[in-house]
């Protein structure tokens, strides 16, 4: 492949090595090359938050980030948040229980951003949640249920929740 680069990084806890073009965006690598379609592309200019992923624990817009920039980094997508196949994170559980999503397009990015928030501030106030989540747009929910879901997850703590507890298989 002309103008290709080998990139080594950790993706959802698994070491990866990929050969990519220098101009390949992280979202294209994730969705098209690696089949991780949970990360969504909304605006393509980094303002909607649908493509949010964690890179070394920091929220990043995968639609703007050249994939070569994740060399040596830890990348976490929505697929990599749950600890195993039988459990959800407290945030995933709360988004289901409290209706923090409707159409689901923005939900992975919302949960990724909220994960970073709760890692930095395990017990945020409603105003702190609203401020942190400003970079994640939703056209369906009106945000009330998203904020409620994040606050409920903060209250519940970080322990995993069995999928069967919310009817998810």
What are the pLDDT digits (tens) for 102-155?
Answer: 899 999 999 999 999 999 999 999 999 999 999 999 988 789 999 999 999 999
Name the H helices within 26-134. Answer: 26-28, 90-97, 107-120, 126-132
C-alpha distances out from residue 39 to 52, 106, 157, Å: 7, 9, 25
Domain boundaries, the chain: 4-80, 87-166
38 token code pair: 């949970």
pLDDT for 169 beyond 70: no
15-42 pLDDT, tens digit per residue, is 999 999 999 999 999 999 999 999 999 9
- CATH code of the region 87-166: 1.10.150.120
Residue predicted with more confidence, 169 or 107: 107
Residue range 4-80 in CATH 3.10.20.30: yes
């Amino acid at each position: 492949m002309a103008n290709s680069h080998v990139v080594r990084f950790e993706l959802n806890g698994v070491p990866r090595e990929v050969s990519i073009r220098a101009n390949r965006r992280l979202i294209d690598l994730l969705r098209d090359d690696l089949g991780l379609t949970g990360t969504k592309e909304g605006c393509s200019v980094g303002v909607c938050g649908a493509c949010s992923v964690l890179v070394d624990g920091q929220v990043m817009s995968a639609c703007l980030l050249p994939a070569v920039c994740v060399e040596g980094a830890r990348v976490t997508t929505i697929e990599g948040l749950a600890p195993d196949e039988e459990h959800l994170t407290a945030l995933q559980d709360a988004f289901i229980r409290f209706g923090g999503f409707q159409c689901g397009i923005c939900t992975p990015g919302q949960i990724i951003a909220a994960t970073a928030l709760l890692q930095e501030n395990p017990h945020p106030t409603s105003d702190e949640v609203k401020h942190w989540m400003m970079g994640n747009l939703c056209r369906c929910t009106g945000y009330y249920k998203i904020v409620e879901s994040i606050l409920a997850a903060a209250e519940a703590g970080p322990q995993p929740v069995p999928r069967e507890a919310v009817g998810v298989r």
